[in-house]
Amino acid sequence: MSESNSKLSKGNKYHHHLGTGGYQHKLAQWEQEDEAQRAKGLPALPDQLGRRGSRWVRAHVPAKEAKSSLSFSDPMVEEAAKNIFVVAAKQRAGEFKPQREKDVLIVDLGNPEHPGRVRGMSSKE
């Protein structure tokens, strides 16, 4: 089982930094951070990227750097995050219309969505 999980992990292009708790353990913390941003009069990340996009970006920021800013240790992840911001800006400007299987993450990451699978969201929600 360890070998198969190791092989599966090596196939991932973008490694997240959520730990064993996954998205579920981070949602409350991210919600508090968003409310603090809004209280300061600044746009929160979900306001800029949408819920899925903001969760994907936050999940890929190393934990030790998550408090300060959006900086990434992997150049591929950084490029993907920049592209998510670009596509989200196009969506806000009306130049990009998301569809069921073609949203900001799908367009940016280039991964077709698997039927019945949702990325960037908790299964408990």
pLDDT for position 38: 93
Q: Which amino acid is at 123?
A: S
- Total H helices, total E strands in the chain: 5, 0
Taking alpha carbons only, the member of 105, 90, 124, 112 closest to residue 22 is 124
Q: Which residues contact 67 (CB under 8 A, 6 or more apart)?
A: none
pLDDT for position 39: 94
State how far the Cα of 63 lies from the Cα of 48, in Å rounded to an integer.
21
Q: Would you kindly state where each structural domain of the chain is located, as residue ranges?
A: 16-109
Using a cut of 0.85, tell me whether the model's pTM lies above it.
no
pLDDT for position 77: 82
State how far the Cα of 94 lies from the Cα of 67, in Å rounded to an integer.
32
Name the helix (H) or strand (E) containing 118: none
Cβ atoms of 88 and 49 closer than 8 Å: yes
State how far the Cα of 47 lies from the Cα of 95, in Å rounded to an integer.
17
- Give 10-residue mean pLDDT values along the chain (125 residues): 82 78 86 92 88 87 62 80 87 83 74 62 63
88-102 residues labelled b (16+ CB within 10 A) or e (exposed): beebeeeebebeeee
